[in-house]
Amino acid sequence: MLGAYFSVSMERIVYFMIKQEMIKKIELKRSHLIQAACQHGFTSPLTIKYSEELDHLLNLYAKKQIIVYKEQKITASNNT
């Protein structure tokens, strides 16, 4: 029983680390986007590139959140 608990706890720790790393990447890309927009304008190729990269990171983050939610929902229904 302890092995299963340890496994779930490790999964949560790994997920938390991945989540924090994703948040850091999103915040850094957002900062780059704001700087590019202020220096080069909203329609500059660099600003658009950063905007697309930020969109991609946000979409990845959202997908991970949905996957984790579904896994938690399945796990909860299996435990009942």
Residues 6+ apart with CB under 8 A from 47: 33, 36, 37, 40, 41
pLDDT score for 2: 47
| Domain membership flag for residue 22 | yes
The residue type found at 30 is: R
| Domain membership flag for residue 23 | yes
CATH of the domain at 51: 4.10.280
| Domain membership flag for residue 6 | no
| pLDDT tens for each residue of 60-70 | 888 887 766 66
Residue 5 has pLDDT above 60, yes or no: no
List Cα–Cα distances, 79 to 11, 43, 55, 75, in angstroms. 17, 52, 36, 6
Q: Could you list the residue range(s) of the whole structural domain that residue 33 is in?
A: 11-79
| Domain membership flag for residue 5 | no
Q: Would you say 53 and 29 are in contact if contact means Cβ atoms under 8 Å apart?
A: yes
| pLDDT tens for each residue of 10-61 | 667 777 778 889 999 999 999 999 999 999 999 999 999 999 999 999 998 8
- Report the domain count for the chain: 1
Helix-, strand-, coil-residue percentages of the chain, each rounded to 5 = 90, 0, 10
* pTM score: 0.71
